């Protein structure tokens, strides 16, 4: 593989993620807060250690994010049945609604952009989905080893 092409792919994925994260601000959340809310929604109740690993945040930062989401009644803390000293967080019904709105905003933003691209380019991007999903799985697998 050409190193320059791989570098361009990495860079564009990063820039796309940043652009998509920016769409969460309509709900009054930072990109990090929206990301944590989305993870808790998608994966179900999660321990704080899991969130630290998944988000790549330090414990202090995660504590602030969780506190804000909890203060806004978007998540709630639960005792961790496997470790009574630890807590897990789960999404609340209001949090699920906010997360759905954020996902909708992000989906609409991508859809609007795809509509502005030449038809063939949009089809090429959609055809690349299986390859991008495989890349995601490979990156996830490489991180866990």
Helix (H) or strand (E) holding 142: helix 129-144
pTM score, two decimals? 0.81
pLDDT at 25: 66
- Token readout for 73 is 């009644």
Contacts of residue 39, defined as CB under 8 A and 6 or more positions apart, other chains included, come to 46, 51, 54, 55
At CA 51, angle to CA 129 and CA 30, rounded to 5?
75
- pLDDT given at position 28: 87
For the chain, list the domains and their CATH numbers: 3-144 (1.10.10.10)
- Splitting the chain (145 residues) into consecutive groups of 10 residues, what average pLDDT does each group show? 92 88 78 92 92 91 96 94 86 96 90 94 95 91 77
Tell me whether strands 75-80 and 46-47 are parallel, antiparallel or unpaired.
Answer: unpaired
């Amino acid at each position: 593989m050409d190193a320059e092409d791989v570098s361009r792919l990495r860079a564009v994925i990063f820039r796309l993620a940043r652009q998509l994260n920016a769409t969460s601000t309509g709900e009054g959340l930072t990109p990090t807060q929206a990301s944590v809310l989305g993870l808790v929604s998608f994966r179900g109740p999660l321990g704080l250690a899991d969130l630290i690993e998944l988000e790549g945040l330090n414990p202090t930062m995660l504590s602030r994010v969780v506190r804000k989401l909890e203060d806004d009644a978007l998540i709630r803390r639960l005792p961790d049945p496997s470790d009574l000293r630890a807590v897990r967080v789960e999404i609340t019904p209001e949090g699920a609604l906010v997360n759905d709105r954020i996902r909708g905003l992000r989906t609409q933003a991508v859809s609007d952009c795809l509509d502005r691209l030449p038809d063939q380019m949009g089809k090429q991007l959609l055809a690349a989905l299986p390859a991008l999903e495989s890349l995601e799985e490979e990156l996830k697998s490489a991180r866990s080893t």
